[in-house]
Amino acid sequence: MAAVAVSTAALLTLTACGGDAKESGGGEAAQKKVEVFSWWTGPGEADGLKAMREIFAKQNPNFEFFDAAVAGGSGDQARALLSSKLQANQPPDTFQGHAGAELQGYIKGGKLESLNSLYDELKLKDVLPQQLVDQISVEGQIYSVPVNIHRSNVLWYNPSVIKDAGIDGAPATIDEFVTDLEKVKKAGKIPLSIGSQWTVVHLMESVLLGTLGTDAYNQLWAPNADWSSAEVTKALENFKTILSYAGTPQDDWQPAAKQVVDGEAAFNIMGDWAYGYFHNPPDGGLGKESHKDFDWAASPGTDGTFMWLSDSFTLPKGAPNRDGAIAWLKVAASKEGQDAFNPLKGSIPARTDADKSLYQDYLSWSLEEWSKDKLAGSIQHGVVANDAWRSAINDAVGLFQQSQDVAKLQEALVSAAQSNNQ
């Protein structure tokens, strides 16, 4: 913790030292920097950000894009640094956040500006799904611009590895999944690949949904929900069983996912950003072929439900370059920006008027599923749990990885709900 504190302090000092240097060069024609804070640094996501950045540069020659991305899948490290920057009143010009409960703390703390006037100017309510607008609104005010829709509950698998293990296709239920994991284990491959701790929480949310069903899962996020039920116990027992087949944890989601396309592991449950990583050419991805090197299905037990999340950008109060931040938000909100970003990122557009011809293969499937499936919100990616609640869930899962004690895990989840969901 001391090392983290020193590291954060050093980063803040560097930011403070550079905070006044918003202009590069000299004279009136100097470009004014726009600090865009995100966690898009990996293959696929970085490519999508680059595509939006090129549009921004073309449309805004007087602004210089400053990439303040912090590495780490799911944004845990980025959010920790961001919180420190906001508390120190050193906000970036704009920052990435997951639409939904994740932003509530910033809104209640008075750290974000309302974007209602921007929505009116761009007529965004006409081109965004109503449920999404509702999720990013608080008391009638909208605080973020969504760039995309991601699906969390995707089972990625290697067709050759499962065929060699005697498995005909993707498992449809939790019980079938456990049976198939055992077959892969006997065949001598890694049954299930996992990454750092957040990827295990990501796995757990799919197992909860696959065991409980959509309605019961969604009910967990209602005030005074019962996390102590026998049904939740069963879901956590399933989680323990599935996790017992996991290989050695990798540093993050990318190396864990790569074990699947490399033929080292059979299965990986990860969001559809994995598609961009698998599919994009080698300088930005792995250049793999779908239905041959990898394939996909809804995670076991969840077919017919789209567990969703949305990346969005905000306007912090006190943004040093407010005009530049608004210019970036306009690119992020635009049809051109979303159609440039999402095919590379491995996500579908938040806008309903996007060019559907650009979304092929997995993305075409995802667009179709989004249009007809029931919806459930992701835990790890900020839709259903605020940051304090999500952090408590992460802590509980981290301890469970060491203890494998389902009763203690459930007690911790009950306590987290009682503390954060009244």
139 and 232 both lie in a single domain: no
User: Looking at the predicted structure, is the pLDDT value of residue 335 above 70?
Assistant: yes
Range of the domain at 243: 151-307+379-420
pLDDT tens digits for 240-295? 999 999 999 999 999 999 999 999 999 999 999 999 899 988 877 899 999 999 99
Q: Are residues 76 and 138 in the same domain?
A: yes
Q: Are 96 and 329 in contact (CB under 8 A)?
A: no
55 and 165 fall within a common domain:
no
> How much is the average pLDDT of 20-34?
59
Range among 11-25, 127-141, 231-245 rated most confident? 231-245
User: Is the Cα torsion angle 192, 193, 198, 202 positive or negative in sign?
Assistant: negative
Q: In this structure, are 214 and 235 located in the same domain? A: yes
Residue 22 lies in a domain: no
Same domain, residue pair 140 and 196: no
Q: What is the largest CA-CA distance in the chain?
A: 70
Interatomic CA distance for residues 106 and 116, integer angstroms: 17
Q: Does 329 lie in the same domain as 239?
A: no
Q: Which two tokens stand for residue 211?
A: 């065991």
| C-alpha R_g of the chain | 21
**CA pair distance 146, 183, nearest whole angstrom:** 41
The verdict on 396 and 256 lying in the same domain is yes
- Classified as helix, coil or strand, 248 is coil
* Residue with tokens 């829709």, as numbered in its chain: 149
SS3 127: coil
* Together in a domain, 403 and 266: yes
- Reported as a single tens digit per residue, the pLDDT across 181-194 is 999 999 999 999 99
Q: Are residue 126 and residue 50 in the same domain, yes or no?
A: yes
Residue with more model confidence, 201 or 223: 201
Bridging pattern class, strands 154-157 and 295-298: antiparallel
Question: How far, CA to CA in Å, does 219 sit from each of 192, 227, 232, 289, 370?
Answer: 29, 10, 12, 39, 21
CA dihedral 63, 69, 74, 79 (to 10 degrees): -90
Quickly count helices (H) and strands (E) in the chain.
18, 15
Q: Is 272 helix (H, G, I), strand (E, B) or coil?
A: coil
pLDDT in tens, 44-82: 788 899 999 999 999 999 999 999 999 876 677 888 899
C-beta separation of 267 from 181 below 8 A: yes
Instruction: Give domain status of residue 203, yes or no.
Output: yes
> Based on the structure, what is the number of domains in the chain?
2
Q: What is the mean pLDDT of residues 217-227?
A: 94
Residues 110 and 124 in one domain: yes
193 and 253 in one domain? yes
pLDDT interval class at 235 (50, 70, 90): very high
SS3 133: helix
**How far apart (Å, rounded) are the C-alpha atoms in residues 156 and 16?**
43
pLDDT at 80: 86
Please give the Cα distance from 413 to 34 (Å, whole number): 40
Phi, psi dihedral angles at 26 (to 5 degrees): -140, 170
Question: Are residues 383 and 413 both part of a single domain?
Answer: yes
Q: What is the CATH number of the domain that holds 59?
A: 3.40.190.10
